[in-house]
Amino acid sequence: RESFFADSDIVCVLLRLNEQTRSCVTAQDLAGMKSDAILVNTARAELIEPGALLHALKMGRPAQAAVDVYESEPVLDPQHPLLQLPNCLCTPHLGFVEKDNYESYLGKAFDAINEHAKRH
């Protein structure tokens, strides 16, 4: 584990959140990353120990991060600490906002409405 974080140029956090994975990326893991490494988290903020990413980025290990997940969502405060860091690319968590997903969700909803209407 230590060498994984120490040797990786880019670490992408892509785990499902559950009790075994909550806070599985620790402050120690981040502190052990290279000074030019990048951390990407597009899964769940809770996979990283609370406050650890902010602290790590301020310390320069990893050098940069890209996130679209936050400990409290949605991020409405333009003064959110991660948004203030020049070494953190922050975007909204919009991975689900995609045409095929909407068509699938709405299609299932309309199918359910039509089935209900047929029975009544």
Residue of 39, 9, 7 lying closest to 26 (CA atoms) = 39
Query: Among residues 19, 22, 44, 71, which one is catalytic?
Result: 44
Q: Are 11 and 62 in contact (CB under 8 A)?
A: yes
Note if 93 is an active site residue.
yes
CA dist list (Å): 65 to 25, 29, 110, 116: 14, 14, 40, 47
In the chain, what is the straight-line distance between the N-terminal and C-terminal CA atoms, in Å?
Answer: 59
120 is catalytic: no
Q: Outline where DSSP puts E strands in 1-120.
A: 10-13, 38-41, 64-67, 88-90
Answer yes or no: are the C-beta atoms of 28 and 2 closer than 8 Å. Answer: no
Of the listed 22, 55, 80, 93, which one is catalytic?
Answer: 93
Residue 1 appears among annotated catalytic residues: no
Active-site option among 73, 98, 103, 115 = 73
Catalytic residue IDs = 44, 73, 93
